[in-house]
Amino acid sequence: MISASSAYTDQLNLGLLILRLCLGLFLAYHGYNKVFGGGGLKGTAGWFGSIGMKWPQWQARLAAATEIGAGLLLAVGLVTPLAAAGVIGIMVVAIVVAHAKVGFFVFLPNQGWEYCATIALGSLAVGTMGAGAWSLDNAVDFSFDGWSGLVITASVGVAGALIQLVTSYRPQPAAR
């Protein structure tokens, strides 16, 4: 007979698995689209240049690699706090350079910051809780969760975003 505690633990691990797979695989596919979708890396770089990124060809590659790499790592639950930090970093940059000026709601023209914030905060939650028992972190006995997971995930994610923004973002002055 399965105890109530065991059933709850299984439900928690299933919930974490679903959340990791959703956030991670969706983001990895988004990165894949930057490389192989419509305009490919050239189109992504062109858009990055138009919004004020200093080295758009490199930023397109970095964004795609971060989305694919962090997304896949988050999905399988490997080095989860760092994977979640990568997701947070990419989402914070997206909010600052493209979505904050639009407003909150994603359904607004040019999309508000609601969706990116949801992805970032979902990743922060996973980084805080840890990947769960059904993860590669658990298989290799790697565990940073709770307060240490929160601190690592939030600080590395926000620091990565700030470094990218300070070194690489040069928005055009607003037309008067």
The pLDDT assigned to 5 comes to 83
Measured distance CA(99)–CA(82) in Å, rounded: 24
User: What pTM does this model have?
Assistant: 0.93
Collapsing DSSP to helix, strand or coil, 56 comes out as: helix
**pLDDT tens string 81-109:** 999 999 999 999 999 999 999 999 988 89
Residue 64 has pLDDT above 50, yes or no: yes
| Average pLDDT, rounded, for the chain | 94
How many whole angstroms separate alpha carbon 152 and alpha carbon 139?
Answer: 21
Q: Which tens digit of pLDDT belongs to each residue from 131-160?
A: 999 999 999 999 887 899 999 999 999 999
Break the chain into its structural domains and give their ranges: 9-168
Which residues on adjacent β-strands are paired with residue 169? 53
Q: Is 45 left (phi over 0), alpha (psi -120 to 50) or beta?
A: alpha
